[in-house]
Chain A
């Protein structure tokens, strides 16, 4: 979180993490398509090769003024390939919440697990409490064959701690829900840990209302 008291501006950084080719960039593209055009900035993709992110993607979103404070969201992705470990650590700097994009295919279970452990390590390395940092999990590519079943995911999700979403990011399905879930969790965490309400006078409820109105308001 970056709080500029002089400019009355709050910037929240959200990171899409996950294994290679799980659909992090696709999620950002879908968000870009789904949100109101006046709220979204230009989607920036930093160096790609063969459709793979080398550094990161960045999508700035503007929530606008809420109770006198200007709120901006910055959505980042990390490069998924194992070799870009140091870049992932750099992108996680200053991150307020994470959407972990998992590939639903059974064959990718191990890759999901390795990426998750890598994320936990990198959070710790960056000085975050890895076990309490805001996190939502998205099971992407629900339209593909040989995936982990709904029943299996629901059963395990009921035991797990974090909100779980199912998505087909390429068609925009579940993308909005994942983002809203992440924002909700992150803002609650910022309120609990950093006294967001005390500092800027905005409650998490105000925040969510503003996000809904500004980002996803239906065109008149």
Chain B
């Protein structure tokens, strides 16, 4: 019996140890992040010179050196491009948690960030994928350029438009962009310090090349395979964690996590599906709504299927976001999906569906809108008018839509103006807060743009 209790105690201790946090990094929630890992400290050493730090970072540029990944990602995640750090936390679901970057400081470490990306590219681990796509927004375009190439090696093309945009930048920015595009494409670009007219020709040639690549199945010379869930356990955890950040309350956190997943694109879809399932178990509508918002940018049958699922979500807000997403995606099945939720009990859902049908436009969408009876709810009546106007591309309900610009409600004015901007491509100088006479002037301008 005594032996039995001893065994039980041991097992209990093992359980307790397993349940306790194994390793937690970062500050105590007050924003003061203290780097615990010796390699990170060495790479970010404030007492070293820039060149010394760069050399230390580049010394980690070895294929398969995954042990250096956390430190390299930390070096890359400067405040100028990131709202938060991803730090390890043994207690958290994916082994990570966020820490807000709160210090306000000038960007003095951009070359270290370039070095970190070069090292990450050499390691070529998909764990870096979410952080690299966010580095495309770095304040320094040279950092953006290098992130773009590292991403291509990971099978992600999200940075190529960034490289092309940076061709029209200052000398160092356009020179690196051009050189990296040459490496990515295997083609020759232009001389970065040539005259403006020559560079414009070169820029046009790169744009043409990119349009051709997108239209073909051609693989780029250095392009890796797009990431697939299950290929790397750590990458799965990190991408999965970014899906959970979509539900976090900090404004910039969820905005950046959303952006990261949008840029990861199609490979993010299985993670988003899992995210929806987790958020259902957790009763977390905020995450599900954020996922619906991401799905409006990834046009793929699996994404549409997930959106259809979200149209039946328990939360009206999630259903409305899914309807909005279908309106933006348009294409196959969108009209039927939106038609199916016009009778939703939550008024926000049919409002979003009508807006979506208006965006899609054309005879089929217009027929659905015409059949819809909005009842007595004034918000639904307005949405119905605007949807008819939008779907008919300004031919029907013109006077009532224009009259909304003078309406009492600012919400009505904003909604009408948004539709008019979409249809005419002109904001007509309209300001929903301006005086009535100023709004009338803008209304007349719109009448002119719509052909009287």
Asked if A and B are interacting partners, one says no
B residues whose Cβ falls under 8 Å from a Cβ of A: none
